[in-house]
Amino acid sequence: MNFSEFSFWWVLALTSIPFFTVRYLGKVFDWWRDRFDTVGLAALSLLLFLNASSTSFAVFLFEILFNYFMVSLMLRREAEGNKKQAKLIATAVIIFDVVVLAYFKYLTFFIEDFIGLAVPVPANWESGFPLPVFQTIPPGVSFYTFQMVAFVVDSYTARRKKPIKLLDYINFVSFFPQIVAGPIERRSQLLPQIQDFKFRFTAENFDIGMRWLSLGMFMKFVLGDNIAPYITAGMGETSNPWLIWFYAFLFTLRIYFDFGGYSFMAVGIARIVGVKLILNFLAPYTSQSINEFWRRWHVSLSTWFRDYVFIPLMGKRKKWAAFFLFITFTLSGFWHGAAWNFMIWGAYHGALLLLLRYAGRPFSRVTNKFVRKPQIVSWALTFGSVILGCLFFMELDIERLMAKLQTIATPWAYSPARFVEAIATFNTPDGLVLGVALALAIIFLAMEHIAVWQERPEYDLFISGWMPKVLLVLTVLLAANIPSEFIYFEF
């Protein structure tokens, strides 16, 4: 769901106010039943998703029904002792889900960029293609597909394999705060909270939910959205290495504040209705190694690829772990988008992890010997590596990406004159707005570092005491006039 669009809140109000009015009266006159809450949540989630995208909703509804009945059939076959059939059904469902995702997300890339490497592809090939060709990706298809695939696997491997109610499954995969952009929830964590769901409006849930909602809104609307326009304006820069690095740095900040903000808003909204979602981010820019970064960044996706791609690929072949790790990260890059730059980004992070694995300890011994505070060096190298990776991530034009890489790899390009030119670029009234946003962003990241250094929960300083009220006031005062699209809706 796009929390930055007025239509989301308008539809939420139009459906929630009458529903909860009837619910209140029903409880007063003692005719309300708990199962009505389950129906109400499903209806609310589906209506909000329909409002977000009718195309994605149609695909989603078909996949819900197909996956539910096939998983139910799988569980029945296993209960009858026919494990081979159960495994075959599970495999078929997973293949079906992945094929649906590939059709919507990768069809154009496969034909134009992959097949196009071998044979010429006509410019108007879409008109002769037997199926509709979508120019944009239906919102949420990557996230709910991965959640459905994980559910199939977890249902197959679960020790206690009880039948699941259709309504519970609908609520599990369509829970409105997280359906479009995660976190990708697991069966063991979310399903017990969703089964026979009841709204739990308590003072504690409301207080905690509003704290996370305030944090997410501040990150998205104040930090992410105020930085976003400058990145768009600077995408064409290929000659000034100072500006190339600076725009990549801005993108590094924006993608975290934007996606992290969405995730924390989802956590807050879910908590208000009584559901606890996992934290998808754990202060990733405090990491002192790439390995630690991937334990803190997009946690639900990282663990998904670990559990459902890396471990099954590797199996018992642990000697080949490094190779399968590289393949897994390359695939995770491809998940982010149907373009070569995303595959390069995934391969880049896979290569960094291999470099850390084989050269990390010797490097640490050297830095520990000659540097007083080696953890600062480790953090700086990690953050710099992430910024360089974000250059791959943000630049869809491969030719322009290569030009940027050539520029930043040219030592004599870093001249004082180019530096002065870069500074002059932001010597405008708009540059003042960026300066304020950057100052707030740096303070924000510094508070994350303090929390980690004090061994507190990563966001404890932001959701404790009076800080949520301060963040809410700052959001009202400093939110960008024109909110940008949530960046992960594109993936």
pLDDT along the chain (491 residues), means of 10: 75 88 88 89 89 83 92 88 89 93 85 74 72 76 90 87 88 88 87 89 94 95 92 87 95 95 94 94 94 94 93 86 91 87 92 85 68 80 95 90 93 91 84 91 96 92 94 92 73 62
Q: Does the residue 329 lie in any domain?
A: yes
Distance of CA 384 to the CA centre of its chain: 21
DSSP conformational letter for 438: H
Structural domain ending residue among the three candidates 166, 199, 232: 199
pLDDT at 329: 93
19 and 141 fall within a common domain? yes
- Specify whether the CB–CB gap between 254 and 220 falls below 8 A: no
Q: Does the residue 176 lie in any domain?
A: yes
282 and 195 fall within a common domain? no
Query: Would you name the residues annotated as active-site residues?
Result: 336
pLDDT at 68: 93
CA distance 253 to 205: 30
Which residues span the domain enclosing 306?
Answer: 205-490
Q: Does the residue 296 lie in any domain?
A: yes
337 and 469 fall within a common domain? yes
- Angle, helices 34-52 vs 166-174, to 10°: value is 40
Q: Does the residue 428 lie in any domain?
A: yes
16 and 117 fall within a common domain? yes
- Specify whether the CB–CB gap between 217 and 261 falls below 8 A: yes
Structural domain ending residue among the three candidates 179, 199, 219: 199
- Specify whether the CB–CB gap between 168 and 195 falls below 8 A: yes
194 and 213 fall within a common domain? no
472 and 375 fall within a common domain? yes
Picking from 115, 112, 135, 107, the residue whose alpha carbon sits closest to that of residue 123 is 112
Q: Which helix (H) or strand (E) holds 347?
A: helix 340-370
- Specify whether the CB–CB gap between 174 and 64 falls below 8 A: yes
Q: Does the residue 1 lie in any domain?
A: no
226 and 194 fall within a common domain? no
CA distance 135 to 45: 26
CB atoms within 10 A of CB 51: 19
- Specify whether the CB–CB gap between 332 and 345 falls below 8 A: no
Residue matched to tokens 């569980």: 75
Q: What share of the chain is helix, strand, coil (3-state, %, to 5)?
A: 75, 0, 25
Structural domain ending residue among the three candidates 152, 177, 199: 199
pLDDT at 368: 65
- Specify whether the CB–CB gap between 347 and 335 falls below 8 A: no
Token reading at 412 = 């004599």
32 and 89 fall within a common domain? yes
224 and 330 fall within a common domain? yes
Q: Does the residue 104 lie in any domain?
A: yes
352 and 473 fall within a common domain? yes
Q: Does the residue 63 lie in any domain?
A: yes
CA distance 399 to 314: 35
CA distance 414 to 369: 31
246 and 371 fall within a common domain? yes
122 and 215 fall within a common domain? no
- Specify whether the CB–CB gap between 301 and 332 falls below 8 A: yes
Q: Does the residue 343 lie in any domain?
A: yes
Task: Provide the domain count of the chain.
Answer: 2
- Specify whether the CB–CB gap between 263 and 405 falls below 8 A: no
